[in-house]
Amino acid sequence: MESFVSLATFAKSYAELYRYVVADDVMGTIYIILSLVISISWLALRNKLLDLGAGLVAGNIFFALIPMTLAPYLGEIVAEGLAIDPFISASPSLGLYAFLFSVSIVLATEVSRMVKPRRVSARGSAEGSRAPNAGEFRTVFLYATGCLIIVFISSGKLSGAHWAAHADAGFIGALVGLFALSFRAYIFAISIAVMRSDPKKVMVLLIVFTALDVVLTGNRITVLYLVFAVLFSGAFGSVTLAIMAVTAAPPAYFLAVLYPAFRGVVWSQFGGFSGFEAAFWYVWHNGAPASFEMSGLYALFEAANVVIFQYIFETFGRTHEFLNGETVVVKPLTFFIPRELWPSKPLGLGTRLGVDVFGVYGLSLNSLLMGEFYANFGWFAPVMMFLLTAVLSVLSNGNKALQDPRYQLTAFILAFSAWRHEFNYIVFGFIVAFFVIGITRKMAKKNLN
């Protein structure tokens, strides 16, 4: 009789705990934390082996799982200027979806290793491949810098245009943009392999390129690439890394809050280079949020993208129709077709959301890969992510030419960045990178000869 009473008491307590967990959305946060633990553990077990799968997992951790884990404890995440609900905590269904999506990436990468797996270390050593050298790095730097300048001139910023005003720049403009994206990934990928040979010169060139990219094109993620290069190269000791972190963290944290607003007005309202200081103080007095500390932390992870993901999860399949692979499958396979020849060519999800949520064509709203796949496939998204990740990883691991550290490290950066762009960024970015890497290697050899 006593055992029966104890069992009934346990069942009642369990039922109350379950109701508490579900009612307070704690279960959603538990799913997110489990996803974070699994993803970090998997990366740790790989011991700095960088490839496409590692990039997808690292991007998931940085852009999605960490902000969603912090929100219930540090406060809601808000998408400034957008009339959509903030992210407070993951609902049980959203948390479960994020868990399934995260696990699908890890499983797909592990399955792909069964097909002639060939590992590439962070320092760029690979069996049978010649490691990059300083001459090749300098050649990539020159090409990458040239692409930045071309993109900047064609953007119209010098004439006072907003940074998003030339989003639909035509086929030539889009092609130049693709090369710039690939060079941006490649220069930091190759720097991981060559920095140990001459860390000071490589660091100076990387800092110059990062500063140009941030100022001319407004891409903050380049700063994160620089951090990757420093950490994964193994060129600096723990003391040096600590000094770098202490020196760089305050201004990086400070600027993370103000930079999104700054880049939006410096060219269109303050005349560009000559108005940098005036634009800074304008943004400081008019654009600094009330919760500066939390906004700065969230800005480091570009956490506003989580809010857009939540919007997609709550509206697609209800008020919006699913896209059925239009931006995940069709767009990557048809990116080479000019819109002039195919006016109804599918738009990217970010552009669609810019029109839908904010009513501005040319404004791209990032929704994380979780959001893009859900907008296309609903709850089938984890399955599709598993299949597409497995296919891309198998192609990368099973192709002898792509086992070169240049391609593997570039794939890592492209996959990481796709979390704050779109899935087609991986596909066409890697295709363009194939030509970019081949061209620069040949040019570097000519320069040596």
Q: Give the span between the Cα atoms of 356 and 349, in whole angstroms.
A: 10
* pLDDT tens digits, 16-51: 544 544 555 688 899 999 999 999 999 988 877 888
Q: Which tens digit of pLDDT belongs to each residue from 288-318?
A: 554 444 556 777 788 889 999 999 999 998 8
Write out the H or E segment, with its range, that includes residue 224.
Answer: helix 221-233
The amino acid that residue 45 corresponds to is L
Give dist(CA 308, CA 60) in Å, integer: 15
Range in 52-61, 335-344, 393-402 with the lowest mean pLDDT: 393-402
Nearest-CA neighbor of 124 among 112, 136, 116, 113? 136
* Count of Cβ atoms closer than 10 Å to residue 314 Cβ: 15
81, 188, 249, 288 from 224: Cα distances, Å: 25, 10, 12, 23
Assign residue 346 a region: left if phi > 0, alpha if psi is -120 to 50, beta otherwise?
A: beta
Contact 125, 48 (CB under 8 A): no
DSSP assignment letter at 158: G
Neighbours of 147 (CB within 10 A): 21
Question: What gap in Å lies between CA 228 and CA 223, rounded to an integer?
Answer: 9
pLDDT of residue 266: 65
Q: What is the pLDDT of residue 4?
A: 46
What is the structure's pLDDT at 416? Answer: 92
**Pair of tokens at residue 158:** 């010098």
pLDDT, tens digit, 9 for 90 and up, residues 134-185: 778 888 888 888 888 887 777 666 655 544 444 445 556 666 667 777 788 8
pLDDT tens-place string over residues 203-237: 899 999 988 888 887 777 888 888 888 888 877 88
- Which among 118, 100, 60, 44 has a CA at the least distance from the CA of 408? 118
- Cβ–Cβ < 8 Å for 183, 147: yes
**Range with lowest mean pLDDT among 6-10, 99-103, 113-117, 123-127:** 123-127
* Type of residue found at 1: M
78 and 112 in contact (C-beta within 8 Å)? Answer: no
For residue 191, give the nearest of 181, 178, 180, 204 by alpha carbon. Answer: 204
In the chain, % of residues over pLDDT 70: 71
**Residue showing tokens 């420093």:** 230
The confidence band for 449, taking pLDDT boundaries of 50, 70 and 90, is low
Where in the chain are the domains? 2-116+132-448
Chain centre distance of CA 431: 18
